[in-house]
Chain A
Amino acid sequence: MSRPVIEATGLAKRYGGVAAVAGIDLTIDKGEVFGLLGPNGAGKTTTILMLLGLTEPTAGKVEVLGLDPLRRPLAVKRRVGYLPDQVGFYGNLSGAENLRYTARLAGIERAEADRRIKAAAERVGIAEAIQRRVAGYSHGMRQRLGLAEILVKQAEIAILDEPTGGLDPEATHEFLGLVRAFKSEGMTILLSSHLLAMVESVCDRVALFHAGKIGLAGRVEDLVREVLGGSYVINVQATGPNVEARLRTLEGVSSLQPDGPGHWRIEADRDLRPAVARAVVEGGGALTGIALARLGLDDVYTRYFREVRHAA
């Protein structure tokens, strides 16, 4: 295993008396897609700014590609691409002119930049719009232009802050497809989002933020197993007398919640589907649907922070 490309230890940022980030540890390996997940205001953007050296940490240490972004910001920024939350471009310039400007800032010579811009625009699917003024671009096209900028820079690490915010489901799907394609070429990707379910499919590992701290970190499956450990959620649709009372008395049911008329959500410590079916049918009811719910990060997040709050 090579060195991690991003390593943060005890990273903290205080604004006045308020801690935006309260001491986090983070390691990201080469070629990973890492998700910083959590609600708005949990410290995701502040963390990203500190990784880029755009904000000075109050405490802690960061290394990006083995460099300190505070001491050698230019070297770090040359190799890291950043797509900010709600990225903006100069509306009076065309997409290509916008990219040409940032390419110039990145020290790429003109002919090379033009070549890369053309290739990047085709890659992200805005080749036909690249000569038009950005003022007429849709939100999705701006996001793609932002990705094209990272490609032009040939960044080793791409940091995407809320890249799917404000995109419609189809655009989100296509965007995440591009992220996957970048990963397959060896780019390391760090993305932040408050839409947990949407990005869990692309992330190799995630860190769940809560109030400036990382509550949980690891692979998605591991987290599901660890937090929801051996818990099963069964969605039941049934009609008939006393269904609820019968289900409630089943052995192994830890909670039962009505989920609309004739719908229930059962949490159990094992797969109770056969027992549930039997209970409904034997009681004279009709079972119209039964399914084991697939648990995702949303459930992990809700469960974990409910427990944190209870513990507090």
Chain B
Amino acid sequence: MPREGSPWTGVSAVSFKEMADHFSSARIRILVVLILLTAGGAVYAAIENIRATTSQDPFLFLRLFTVARDPVPSFVGFLGFLIPLIAIAIAFDSVNGELSHRTMSRVLSQPIYRDAFLLGKFLGGFATLAICLVALWLLVIGFGMLTLGLPPSGEEIARAVAFLVVAILYAGVWLALALALSVGLRSATTSALAALAIWLVFAFFWSLLVPVATNLLINAGPDDPQGLLAKVDLAQALGRISPNTLFGESAIALLNPATRTLGPVFMAQLNRALIGAPLPFGESLLLIWPQLVGLGAAVVLLFTLAYALFQRQEIRA
């Protein structure tokens, strides 16, 4: 049945309210402190490391993001781990919280569609995450310029910006997931636990599960090169179900320009290749294009799932 009136009415009102709520909440303050401490630690360790090994590296600046000094993981490693946590913290109760505070039906009785409500919630959370990540990114770059005493080159900035975009997309995936769970599960505690469980699986156990699964699915001996290759391909495909893998691969390709491929390489392909020579920025981007599209698609799919669930829901509170 055709309905009249724009589904966009009220989107901005809802998303600005969401952003105001997020930025004034105790939750986000705790997370910001946590991130500043860990990111600060990681970058500081990286700088110490870079100073100790002053080599002729054309992409010295990007090392800020990727160099790890045991036991501190790199900045990128920290982000891969912490971004889901912030996104979940922002969205896990965004819909069922409204139900349990009985504000939902009052808001939906205003002249807006449900579409606007859900989209506003998502965009508000997304903008919050984006602002946090941009601020963090600027802090790291500024800190690096101060301590290393050299400005980043144009290509380094381009690569770092691309990395920022990947990080924001990655945050969007987790935000959409947490939002879908907050629509599907009626209790905020349950949706928080479910989101954290999924996060744990992808952050820690996925890389352990994938080899087990491939071994079960493909039985290849050491004298079966075709089988071994199939096994590697399968392991890679399974690994890429995890958004963490997609984020990690994109970060490596962007921040480490010498990365030429993310899959298996044959000796024949290495023939006459200049090992360690950096790829141009465009080529690196091409290399991770599937990963980028995958992350974007995951955001859209998860949001659509949340949308479909929300539209079918009976709202009585």
Contacts and interface: CB of A to CB of B under 8 A. Distances in A.
Interface of A: 15, 45, 49, 52, 54-55, 70-75, 77-78, 80-84, 86-92, 101-102, 104-107, 146, 149, 153
A92 B21 contact: yes
29 contacts: A49-B316, A52-B109, A54-B105, A54-B109, A54-B315, A71-B2, A71-B3, A72-B4, A75-B4, A75-B111, A77-B110, A77-B112, A80-B109, A82-B106, A84-B109, A88-B101, A88-B102, A88-B106, A88-B317, A90-B101, A92-B21, A101-B13, A102-B106, A105-B13, A105-B14, A105-B107, A105-B110, A105-B111, A106-B111
B3 A55 contact: no
B103 A74 contact: no
Interface string B297-317: 000000000000000001111
B29 interface: no
A207 B226 CA distance: 78
B175 to A, nearest CB: 21
Interface of B: 1-5, 9-10, 13-14, 17, 21, 24-25, 101-103, 105-113, 314-317
A132 to B, nearest CB: 16
A92 B28 CA distance: 15
B118 to A, nearest CB: 14
Contacts of A55: 314-315
A152 to B, nearest CB: 11
B111 A149 contact: no
Instruction: Determine chain B's interface SS by DSSP, over half rule.
Output: loop
Given A54-B315, A70-B3, A78 B105 contact: no
Nearest to A142: B102
Given A71-B2, A91-B101, A54 B106 contact: no
Contacts of A74: 4-5, 9, 111-113
Instruction: Determine chain A's interface SS by DSSP, over half rule.
Output: mixed
A309 B60 CA distance: 87
A86 B5 contact: no
A274 B30 CA distance: 80
Nearest to A46: B316
Contacts of B102: 84, 86-88
A73 B14 CA distance: 18
Contacts of A75: 4-5, 111
Nearest to B108: A54
Contacts of A102: 106-107, 110
A90 B103 CA distance: 7
B12 to A, nearest CB: 9
A278 to B, nearest CB: 57
A83 B4 CA distance: 24
A73 B9 CA distance: 12
Given A52-B109, A73-B113, A84-B109, A104 B13 contact: yes
Which one of B2, B21, B24, B112 has the greatest number of beta carbons of chain A within 10 Å? Answer: B112
A73 B107 contact: no
Contacts of B108: 54
Contacts of B10: 104-105
Contacts of B107: 102, 105
Contacts of B111: 73-75, 77-78, 105-107
B317 A71 contact: no
Contacts of B13: 101, 104-105
Contact of B5 (A72, A90, A104): A72
Which one of B25, B111, B113 has the greatest number of beta carbons of chain A within 10 Å? Answer: B111
A153 B101 CA distance: 22
Contacts of A88: 101-103, 106, 317
Contacts of B110: 77, 102, 105-106, 153
B18 to A, nearest CB: 11
A271 B33 CA distance: 80
